[in-house]
Structure 1
Amino acid sequence: MLSDEELLRYSRQILLRQIDVEGQLRLKQARVLIVGVGGLGSPVALYLAAAGIGELHLADFDRVDLTNLQRQVMFDEAALGRYKAEAAVQRLEAMNPGIRLVTHLAPMGSDTLDQAVADVDLVVDCTDNFTVREAINRACVERRRPLVSGAAIRLEGQLTVFDPRREDSPCYHCLYGHGDETELTCSEAGVAGPLVGTVGSLQALEVLKLLAGFGEPLVGRLLLIDALGTRFRELRVKRDPHCGVCGPRHAE
């Protein structure tokens, strides 16, 4: 049940008929893994903590650097040199002491990643590395966990949802195949701070929709954001029946 304090804290959210008390209880009982607590992970973690997600798992082995402060709104200069996940815990605990926070500070191998995904209800990919994204996707397909994926570079952003529980849902590999491991990162190509904030905020909204059970999640749809012209475009994405990651599972 929700306490009187929780009813007051989340009252503006509970007022939404799509969420109500029942939806807020679902959020309280949910466990979410956020991989990467940087430009995207900062707004994701902040909004999910504020929304009352019962348990947040933060995975990031990087430390806060001065160049992060332009876009990673979780941190300030006092956090410089600290592990991002640990600094994030301090900030999130101050915001909402009623949630549980778990940190993963070491790089994850296939076994540890698989277990981390198994321990939660939903995963949010906030990384900027293709190999890591592929590994997260594979673990989510194996464990049948929804995956909210976002990306931002320069002045362009992308957002979609992969849900292995649905027969019609593509996975990350369906969309990007083997990708390009030489693709530039933000540290090489640059990125606008408000853009990662926009994508991260939309990722957090997709998480709430999936967990509380309202609206239409971005499954099978890729949202493209052009920050230069302030334009949003949507593409349909179909599951590849021959996908090397999710195809055999669907064929069984």
Structure 2
Amino acid sequence: MPKMLSTTQALRYNRHIVLPQVDLDGQEKLVNAHIVIIGLGGLGNAAASSLCASGVGKLTLLDFDDIEHHNLPRQTLFNDKDVGKPKVLAAKDKLAQMNSDCQIMTVDAPISEQHLDLIKHADVVLDCTDNSDARKLINKLCYTAHTPLISGAAIRFEGQLFVALPGTSCCYNCFQRLFSSPQLSCVEAGIFSPVVNIIGTYQSLYAMQVIMGVGDLPLNTLMTFDGLSHEWQKWALPEGTHCHLCK
């Protein structure tokens, strides 16, 4: 049975509710939504914070890393006292303090085929990982489960976003076949903290739009952001790009 907004929640989310595109109906969709966030680095921190504060009812956090000192400039849920702790557990503690109405589930493990059932029961999946193999697997699982996928990436001063709706749009695999992925990781190339937070927050915006069914989503399009020139660009995938996975 879908949850109705309580009076306290209606007051809390009033600034959302007064938006005609959201209204009570849209906020109730958020309260009843389940979003899976894979990767609790800079992207995942920013996305989880925004989604939790905005009233999403259930978040599942999946990551296998522990917090290190070099994570702290961009992974804003964590502080010095969290170093050495599993990211998913530290993030759960911080998010619970942010919004006690949000149910936080954790999976302290790498993404694998075994997580297909979890993805099947999600309304949206956010790929906040930082390696190509994980991205390919997440894309495959989302299309197998018919679950919308919001993919984000950031390196140096650059970010990218890709939205995939199984049955409606091309998938991440289609894009990856046409655009070469950077060979360097953030370890070698670096990452500017505000950029990763911008991209992660954008992932949360897209996820909420998918859940509420509002606005225009950039389907079949790679969105790129340049943090030095402050320019967004759109790269439309050609017609007929669909691969064996999403055809």
Q: Specify the TM-score bucket, using the shorter chain as the normaliser.
A: over 0.9
Residues 154-196 of structure 1, C-alpha deviation per residue, up to 9 Å, x if partnerless?
A: 1111012000031xx1100000029868821111210000000
Paired residue for 2:81?
78
- Mapped contact 2:111–2:138 kept (Cα < 8 A): no
Residues 124-181 of structure 1, C-alpha deviation per residue, up to 9 Å, x if partnerless?
A: 0000110000000001111111100111001111012000031xx1100000029868
Q: Residues of 1 paired with 2:28 and 2:234: CA distance?
A: 32
- Mapped contact 1:152–1:199 kept (Cα < 8 A): yes
Of 48-57 and 213-222, deviating more is 213-222
TM-score (norm 1): 0.93
* Unaligned ranges ≥5, structure 2: none
Paired residue for 1:19?
22
| SS in structure 2 at match of 1:235 | strand
Paired residue for 1:157?
159
| SS in structure 2 at match of 1:177 | helix
Q: How does 1:30-109 map to 2 (within 5 A)?
A: 30-109=33-112
| SS in structure 1 at match of 2:42 | coil
Of 117-126 and 170-179, deviating more is 170-179
Residues 182, 194 of structure 1: CA spacing in aligned structure 2 closer, same or farther, 3 A cutoff? closer
Amino acid at match of 1:195: V
Equivalent pairs counted in the alignment come to 244
| SS in structure 2 at match of 1:132 | helix
| SS in structure 2 at match of 1:71 | coil
TM-score (norm 2): 0.94
Q: Residues of 1 paired with 2:239 and 2:99: CA distance?
A: 39
Residues 178, 228 of structure 1: CA spacing in aligned structure 2 closer, same or farther, 3 A cutoff? closer
Paired residue for 2:199?
199
Residues 63-105 of structure 1, C-alpha deviation per residue, up to 9 Å, x if partnerless?
A: 0000001111111111110000100000000000001111010
Identity rate of aligned residues, in percent? 38
- Mapped contact 2:159–2:199 kept (Cα < 8 A): yes
| SS in structure 2 at match of 1:13 | helix
* Unaligned ranges ≥5, structure 1: 248-252
